[in-house]
Amino acid sequence: MTMLESAGAEVEDPAGEVLPGNLDRGDVPGLVLPEEVVTSLAGQLAERARSGEPVALTGPGGLLTGVIGQVLQAGLAAELGAHLDGPGGDGGENRRNGSSAKTLNTEVGPVRLAVPRDRGGSFDPVLVPKQATRSDGLNAVIISLYAKGMSVRDIARHVRQTAGVDLSPDTISRVTDGALEAMREWQHRPLEPFYPVICIDALVAKVRDGAAVRNKAVNIAVGIDDGGAKRVLGIWVAASEGAKAWAQALAQMRNRGLEEVLFVCCDGLSGLGEEITGTWPGTTVQTCTVHLIRRSLNYASYGDRKAMAAGLRAVYTACDADAAYAALADFSGTALGKKYPAAVAVWERAWDRFIPFLEYGPAMRKVLYTTNAIESFNREMRKVLKTRTQFPNDDSVAKTLWLAILDAEEKRAEQRARQAGKPKAQRDAVPRLIEGHVTQGWREAWGEMVARRPGRFADRA
């Protein structure tokens, strides 16, 4: 076989010659080069190293860039040959008509191609489509870096340094904007009509608003379905975190088909409970106990916080609401309670929204007493938001978080796949971040809900 010599990634039209592959080596997946080609490449690479020339695998003049260019060039020639021999050949009257130069930016560097043409102008290559200037692999790299929180300018600098491809920030924005349509489709997808538990919380992102950069609320809702699996129900960017902003998000979920919710766990935002019950009458609003503890400790000095946390433990671990009220009264009579009456007032103001979970057993209490179902997820999302000093618009925030969810779930799925088949004691891969992650102890919690409210579960046994 003749090995085409490539000066960097510059390749000539091989006039229809196709480089055959070694189809007998089934032990190596994907496209495999023949042994004589590999030997020739290795010899060229070794000769360069011995002569003191730089040995580059990627970027302009890189070995992989040249190989990719040759394979694509041969593939285009094969496509045109098949087109001329097929129905598009116009009965043999259509013929080759030279080629046109084109640069295709790939994940390993820029590749110069001579795209063949036909006289009839009916040839439309699939391997390198018309108007395409970037490979799908490069687009995937850009989106992956964006999902990890890198700005478009940082991505442009990274691609230029690693692959030698010069892309403008506007080009990278257009690549990532390709995910907007899929994100909006996900954001407006139909929801299941019943979710037993929903947890809602908000993050803060800096978003450019005209000439200023403002802190905006990123409202996120995570639902637990009747099988115990967690789902991100939506991401909404609002001017600020407030009951009215949440009212719009709740109404959207209702319009998407969510008809019944048993419990909504939240942080006790003023007016939020009324918006929840207005959207889904009969829903129980549960204030997050962890948020109540944090607000109480904010009133205490650093030296008193540990003792105050221990004293408040008797309140939220009580056997029922009456015992919890008695425990709060006892705490208010202690030295700490008298020293920090504002901390006691935090629990008194939120009492009606705090006590619902006390009606249930340990399994259901573990699900309801805190918004941890969404807190761990938000912790990962904050890492993405903190790497960006600001976002140009609201869509950019939602797009970044949605891509971050996909990226995190894909990474964790790859870790689990690598450890598949190993004994359980030897597997340390992390579980799903949120999507489809089954809540621990859900079967017991479901049983407690059914026993406590048999009428609402009559048709869901």
Given this model, what pLDDT does residue 7 score? Answer: 37
Token readout for 240 is 């600020």
CA dihedral sign of residues 122, 127, 133, 136: positive
Q: What is the pLDDT of residues 250-272, one digit of tens each?
A: 999 999 999 999 999 998 888 99
Given this model, what pLDDT does residue 133 score? Answer: 84
Q: What is the pLDDT of residues 369-406, one digit of tens each?
A: 887 768 778 888 888 888 777 888 888 888 888 888 88
Q: Higher confidence at residue 345 or residue 100? A: 345
Confidence category of residue 17, pLDDT binned at 50, 70, 90: very low
Given this model, what pLDDT does residue 55 score? Answer: 72
Distance CA 111, CA 113 (A): 6
* Amino acid letter, residue 297: L
Please report, for the chain, how many H helices and E strands are present, in that order.
17, 7
Asked if 293 and 312 count as a contact pair (C-beta separation under 8 A), the reply is yes
> What percent of the chain is modeled with pLDDT above 90?
33
Residue 152's nearest CA partner among 399, 358, 326, 335 is 399
> What percent of the chain is modeled with pLDDT above 70?
89
Given this model, what pLDDT does residue 92 score? Answer: 64
Of the listed ranges 183-187, 422-426, 430-434, the least confidently predicted one is 430-434
Of the listed ranges 16-30, 60-74, 197-211, 350-364, the least confidently predicted one is 16-30
Distance CA 314, CA 369 (A): 14
Does position 245 have pLDDT exceeding 80, yes or no? yes
Average pLDDT, the chain: 83
Residues 12-31, mean pLDDT to the nearest whole number: 44
Computed on alpha carbons and rounded to an integer, the radius of gyration of the chain in Å comes to 30
Q: Residue 302 has what DSSP assignment? A: H
